[in-house]
Structure 1
Amino acid sequence: MDRSAARVVELDVRPHLRKKLEPFSLIMDTVKSLNADEIFVLHATFKPTPLFGVLKMKGLAGKAEQAGKEHWISTFVHKKNKSWLLDPGAGAGAADRAPASDGVCAGDASGAPGQGTFADDTGAQADGAAAAPRIVELDNRGLEPPKPMMRTLAALDRCRSGDAVVIHNDRVPMFLIEELHGLGYPYTVEEQSDGSAKVRIRKP
């Protein structure tokens, strides 16, 4: 099918984000309804960088372009149609490429609690020589939805089997927990005295 004949499905989550509501489940419901020859266009207030890693796991390629202040347009297509993202005038974008800064595993090879780190916007890479399970720690407090959830899922995507991701969120991440159930990832939740929550997730 030619790109010009493809159906475009648009979703604008800017109103949700401005109200500090979590739109991740809405995004994923839309993605689940797509067929292989449809184009998904997402409008958000920021560049949803970790979402590229999450949707890559689901067979989608994407690119993002800034259309204005607090307006980013991200376009996703099935990986077999990723050439559509490179059409003249469509922008080169980051087709089928997930950023290394949102989910690189690193840390003490012993896997001891508290020793893991997260290479966020530093370009640091994991030590490939470490064979033992590792810990990745993410402090998601203060981040606006859906950044905490997408950042966490992107980290899990880049970890190896047996590694763990420990996140500290402002509250119990109910939407994330629902997604973990669907993915079959074991987890534990530890609520903190200040109302925040720590969640430890193991990659099977």
Structure 2
Amino acid sequence: MAATTMDSGEAGKGGPPEWMALALDAAPMDVRGFLAQGEDPFAAIMEAAAVVEFGGFLVIDAPFNPSPLRRVLAGRGFSSYGRKLSEGHWRVFFHLDGGADWESGAEVQVLPEGAMTWREDDGIHIDVRKLSPPNPMLAILRLIEGLDGDETVVVHHEREPHFLIPELAERGWRIARVANEVVNVRLWLERAV
């Protein structure tokens, strides 16, 4: 994989947006330290975003593509463009421009339990962090039961959900891969062969 990778939201547009040249001068806010200490950087990011003036920039360094954060800031008028700089290091550029250049193909849906879902190149993502039990399991099971075909589901969870494993097996699913980051355990779910 190349050292710099554009995210799926920009891939069809032929490269970075025009405003990126100006955003490169902005100093990044590195939230990887927060996450390594088990702290949620959301409040600090929102504070930093609140002082950005129209036409200004916010740059975040994170250990993964923070899609839910990008959706929240899009709702506040920020366009975004993400680059994977290396394994475990994403740099996401935010431009306060009314959200004109946001990942147009990436729509978020909120399920009855409060989980967010969206589609990326590697499958359907579901974020169940911050939900109280049993809502994470209910949201995941609702999602997989409604899928046809061999779609991959990427779960964003706060911890490894051990009670989910037998429920998946009953439905013909399995956990194919796990990435265990401090406040984002990602699970790739696939139909069992």
TM-score range, shorter chain: 0.3 to 0.5
TM-score between both structures, scaled by the size of structure 2:
0.46
